[in-house]
Amino acid sequence: MIWQFDVVILTLVVISAIGAVTVKDLLGAVILFGAYSFMMCLLWAIMGAVDVAFTEASVGAGVSTVLFVAAVFRTTRRTRD
Amino acid sequence: MKKAGLVIVLFFGGLLVYGTLDFPDWGDPTSPASLHVSPRYIEKTLEETTVPNMVTAILADYRGFDTLFETVVIFSAGLACFFLLRTRRKAPGTRHYRHRPTGIVLHIEKGGRLPDDSTEFERIDSLWVPHDLIIKATCRLIIPFIQLFALYVIAHGHHSPGGGFQGGVIFGAAFILYAVTHDLREGLQRLGERTTYAMCSIGVFIYAGVGTLCLFFRKNFLDYSALAAVLGVDPATARSHGILMVEIGVGIAVMAVMFAIYCNLSSVGKQDEGL
């Protein structure tokens, strides 16, 4: 495990997580959440849990992003809070 | 109120971080988990199940109950989406038909419809945008490979990362991709609603069925070595084959549930006009 990678990815995880909850545009929040999942996937892969990383990439970054986009498409894109 | 919430979140977050300080270090060989549980699996898995990928063996064999009920959880998620979102097909409002040669769009109101097999007219969504030829052609090219990869992930889970869940999700994603790039009705023509829900339960049934089959051979539920006599192999290989059967069940269930949730979400339960 290379600690520089760890620091970069963990910073990106925190940034995208904070971005996903604070951003006003819900579609942007979905994309940020997808980026968060993908960074988590990289973290799992770095720690040697390849199966978990695979699941995270397919479920977290892939299908759940699509489901969120579908939900945003059928509700509203702007949030009031 | 917001500040009070922040204080509470920070307090409990700090408490959690403080709690994790007592955990053993990452990869610590003297931690309790690495002393008793892990070595047993690392030493015995290949011998007992002939599966090189320990994760798959533990997931589907040693911890088979866990995975069975994980599949049931996914199945119930699909059912919950169905019961929350699916509405009965009421008399539809306006339908839109596009005349192919001229591009003129007809709005037909009060549930009127043109025959579905009309070659001159095609039914379009109310929020219709012209389909991009490049996107359609690319997806047509890429979807078979996605599906093949999904099958590989399911079948090769014994030797490499992967298994029923991941393969099922990738297979479902291929159908979702088709429904996104064409439209939902065309996607549903490929994989109908009834088939989807039947496959949801068939997947869980395969898993539980393989488990129950073991009972008939006087072994425990989900002890696949009982299938050795039926499959004509030694008990260790039978466990490997049992894992494969179970993974196929999981793959079918997960694939169908993903597509079902997508269809219900993107069409608000009408299964008519989608994303």
Going from N- to C-terminal start, the domains of chain B cover: 53-87+132-266
Contact B49/B57 with Cβ under 8 angstroms? Answer: yes
The mean per-residue pLDDT over the stretch B126-133 comes to 76
Q: How far is residue B11 from each of residues B5, B18, B23, B39, B158, measured CA to CA in Å?
A: 10, 10, 19, 38, 44
Q: How confident is the model at residue B89 (pLDDT cuts 50, 70, 90)?
A: low
Residues of A with CB under 8 A from a CB of B: 47, 50-51, 53-55, 58-59, 62-63, 66-67, 69-71, 73-74
Spatial CB neighbours of B151, under 8 Å, sequence gap ≥ 6: B167, B171
Weakest-pLDDT range from A32-36, B31-35, B77-81:
B31-35
Task: Tell me, yes or no, if B265 comes closer than 8 A to chain A by beta carbon.
Answer: yes
The mean per-residue pLDDT over the stretch B7-36 comes to 89
**3-state SS, residue B34:** helix
B243-271 per-position pLDDT tens digit:
999 999 999 999 999 999 999 998 888 87
- Tell me which chain B residues have a C-beta less than 8 angstroms from the C-beta of A63: 169, 172-173, 176, 258, 262
- How close B226 comes to chain A (CA, Å)? 28
- Tell me which chain A residues have a C-beta less than 8 angstroms from the C-beta of B275: 69-70, 73
Counted across chains A and B, CB pairs separated by less than 8 A come out at 52
Q: What is the pLDDT of residue B32?
A: 82
B170-196 per-position pLDDT tens digit:
999 999 999 988 888 888 888 888 999
Q: Which of A14, A60, A77 is nearest to B13 (CA)?
A: A14
Q: What is the pLDDT of residue B110?
A: 74
- Tell me which chain A residues have a C-beta less than 8 angstroms from the C-beta of B261: 67
Contact B182/B67 with Cβ under 8 angstroms? Answer: no
